[in-house]
Structure 1
Amino acid sequence: MLLTVVPLVPVLAITTVAAHFQSGHHPLDFLGYAWLVLATLPLLFSRRFPLPAFVVVAALTWTYYLSDYPGGPAVVLPTVALFTLTRLRGPLQAGIAGTVMILAGLGAYLAMGGDFLLDGRAAFFLVWLSAVLGIGTAVRNRVAANRAARDSAAEHQRRMAELERLRIAREVHDVVAHSLAMINVQAGVAAHVADRRPEQAVEALLAIKEASASALADLRATVTVLRSGQGLGPAPSLRQLDELVEHTRAAGIGVRVHGSPGELPAPVDAAAYRILQESLTNVVRHANQPTNVTIHLGRKGGRLRLTVRDNGRGAVEPKAGNGLRGMGERAAALGGEVTAHPVAEGFEVSAELPIEGER
């Protein structure tokens, strides 16, 4: 509605005033006003039908100028229509339509005995067409750039939300899976020896109680941090290696540790801890009758190397699950990699994580 009212009011007002200073023209009567109003109405549909709207507006405006009514700023009307056509359909379609309408109007003017070459109207329409096309194209490009920027920002937000979802999933999985694996093993032990060795069953139940309390505390802390949006709290670290080893030993599996990681940057330290934790969890949950696990830690070529090998029987190629996927994502986020595959006597997980600043 504004696209119609805004140009119509000044066109009618200025044309009315200009009519008092122009002689030799037909007075601006009801038909003249109706003509200008009719030439404006197609602007109501210019957003949905920009080309037909421009053609109708331009045709009515040309015929008004070729009539005996006084002149005025009615050229504003096709200007608005051409600008809208340029912005919505592009400069090529608008340029062709504008050129055709100008040539048609000038042809009719010449047929009525006019001489546009002498009064400069051809130059005026050429400048007018170029200016409207230029401004319309600039606005069109600006709108397209803004839309692309908004789409890019929205895509970035979606990507960040997806990464955050994956991060939360990894955190919850890593916090809970290890303790639940230990609980499962100890529950199996307790059920197996409850009748024959009740004292060992009591030890297993106490281990279950300790592991479940630890899991609940870790899960509660993780959820609290995620709700607060203030990071992940104290990051896991290989300084807690002894705790992981003891949990695995409590499941009846011997653990030997060779080497030391030394001081590590926090992201590398946390990722290495989670990879080691998941590797030991997988040994407890999936290995077939393992009796021992060997952990190798060391640095070479500016990279932390972590290897976890068990002696479970009949190891096969693993299926991609949340655990292996999470380990790979953590390593890839730092520019490292994780491999997991069966070996001659068991299964091995190997991780290499680059240490920033080392060569």
Structure 2
Amino acid sequence: MLTLARSLWRLPAPPDARPAGRWDYAFVAAVAVMAVLEATVLRPDLDRRWLSLAAFLVWLPTLLLRRTRPGVMVTVFAVVMFVPVYEAFESSGRPPDDLHTGIVALLIPYSITRWESGRAVIPDLFLFGLVAARSLLWEGTPTGDRVGGTAVIVAAAAMGAAVRARAMLQSRQLDVVRQQERERLARDLHDTVAHHLTAIAISAQAGLAVADAKPEAARDALRRIDEEATRTLAETRKVVRMLRTDEDEVDRPLDDLAGLASTGGPGPSVDVQVADGLDDLSPTVGAALQRIAQEAVANARRHADGATSVHVQVRRHLDDVELVVTDDGRAPTRSAEGFGIVGMTERAALLGGTLAAGPAPDGGWRVTATLPSEERR
């Protein structure tokens, strides 16, 4: 309980408080006109009507500050309303009659709990309560009116707190969505760009190694670097487009896997085999398979010592689709650093699948991803 109280006390003012707009000014003007009509036409017999009307019109404009400066609003309200109350009690011993238009004062407790900082809520509500108490606690006020008036004030404050809690919850949900989008973007950029950058780095190293002895081989390496750089640019643009819309997910979920195949150039060769009958995969599942395969191939190029080949196989297994990526390198132990395996595992888990990565029984390294043929919701 103490921890909750401290959290509420330290609660900052909401950051989404906007200043008064034209509708706020129109509202205040309309209420002022209604108050004047009430005091002059509708209730001409109102006790001390001119004093009540003047006090009301003085504090009414502070409603324009109800979001940005609620403390100023309630302070002006308390100070201004003290004058007619004091004068009425001095002369007749009873509070002055209220304008029916004064019901807009219920916006004050609502605004305090909705827009004020945590440490200012209690003193501001107390100050408003002092003003309200002059009618609620007067000895001539019926008990029913006291209970009803108190309930209405409490309800207004509770509504402000409820709206504030809902806004905070929505803000946190938006923060979670943004964080998930950032993580997805990081995975996509890592999965797509890292694969091609690895090939560029390997080609550059090979070209440097043979530049003096074999100029033709160096030119081949430069051509491969150019091809990989072009692919990197295209993949990066695709990821950016995916952040705006999912319409880029066309009905060819596994066609991009063929682009991983490579038989020439530096590094191990990559062989891709896709079984028949997988054209009915959803675009999301197909994209996940392609990203996981890309990352697995990139990891083999980076970490598989002495690897000469990487084999990528996609096949249907019962109601699931299975992706297996193996290499023949010497890699009984892989570094746990980086986001490669973590990203692949998360991507598979998001679709209700599983992923296992580890040494293969016959040597090398194997990555096995099993995903449902359709998205599991």
Verify same fold: TM over 0.5.
yes
1:216 aligns with 2:243: no
330-339 vs 282-291, greater mean Cα deviation: 330-339
Q: CA deviation at 1:352?
A: 1.9
Q: In structure 2, how many angstroms separate the alpha carbons of the residues matched to 1:199 and 1:284?
A: 23
Q: For 1:62-77, list aligned pairs within 5 A.
A: 64=88, 67-68=91-92, 73-74=97-98
Q: In structure 2, how many angstroms separate the alpha carbons of the residues matched to 1:330 and 1:266?
A: 14
- Partner in structure 1 of residue 319 of structure 2: 302
Correspondence for 2:45 among 18, 22, 25: 18
Correspondence for 2:248 among 208, 233, 251: 233
Correspondence for 1:177 among 190, 194, 203: 194
Q: For 1:326-345, list aligned pairs within 5 A.
A: 326-343=343-360, 345=363
- Partner in structure 1 of residue 20 of structure 2: none
User: In the superposition, relative to structure 1, how do residues 8 and 65 fare at CA in structure 2: closer, same or farther (>3 Å)?
Assistant: farther
Q: CA deviation at 1:69?
A: 8.1
Correspondence for 1:245 among 261, 266, 269: 261
Contact 2:55–2:80 (CA under 8 A) maintained in structure 1:
no
Q: CA deviation at 1:36?
A: 9.3
- Partner in structure 1 of residue 277 of structure 2: 262
Q: CA deviation at 1:270?
A: 0.8
Correspondence for 2:185 among 160, 168, 171: 168
Compute the TM-score of the two structures, normalised by the length of structure 2.
0.65
User: Which amino acid in 2 is paired with 1:187?
Assistant: A
User: Which amino acid in 1 is paired with 2:354?
Assistant: E
Q: CA deviation at 1:286?
A: 2.0
Q: CA deviation at 1:281?
A: 1.0
Q: CA deviation at 1:326?
A: 2.9
Contact 1:14–1:73 (CA under 8 A) maintained in structure 2:
no
- Partner in structure 2 of residue 354 of structure 1: 372
Q: For 1:66-145, list aligned pairs within 5 A.
A: 67-68=91-92, 73-74=97-98, 84=108, 88=112, 105-106=138-139, 121-123=140-142, 126-145=143-162
Identical aligned pairs, as a percentage? 28
Q: CA deviation at 1:272?
A: 0.1
Runs of 5+ consecutive residues of structure 2 not aligned to the other structure? 1-27, 113-120
Q: In structure 2, how many angstroms separate the alpha carbons of the residues matched to 1:276 and 1:175?
A: 10
SS of 1:132's equivalent?
Answer: helix
Q: In structure 2, how many angstroms separate the alpha carbons of the residues matched to 1:201 and 1:259?
A: 33
- Structure 1 or 2, whichever has the larger Rg, is 1
SS of 2:262's equivalent?
Answer: helix
| Cα distance per residue 1:51-74 (max 9 Å; x no partner) | 997699589738825744898624
1:324 aligns with 2:337: no
Runs of 5+ consecutive residues of structure 1 not aligned to the other structure? 23-27, 107-120
SS of 1:318's equivalent?
Answer: coil
| Cα distance per residue 1:51-109 (max 9 Å; x no partner) | 9976995897388257448986248799877884587469x979997997679642xxx
- Partner in structure 2 of residue 278 of structure 1: 295
Q: CA deviation at 1:274?
A: 0.9
Q: CA deviation at 1:232?
A: 6.1
- RMSD value over aligned CA atoms? 4.7
- Partner in structure 2 of residue 204 of structure 1: 221
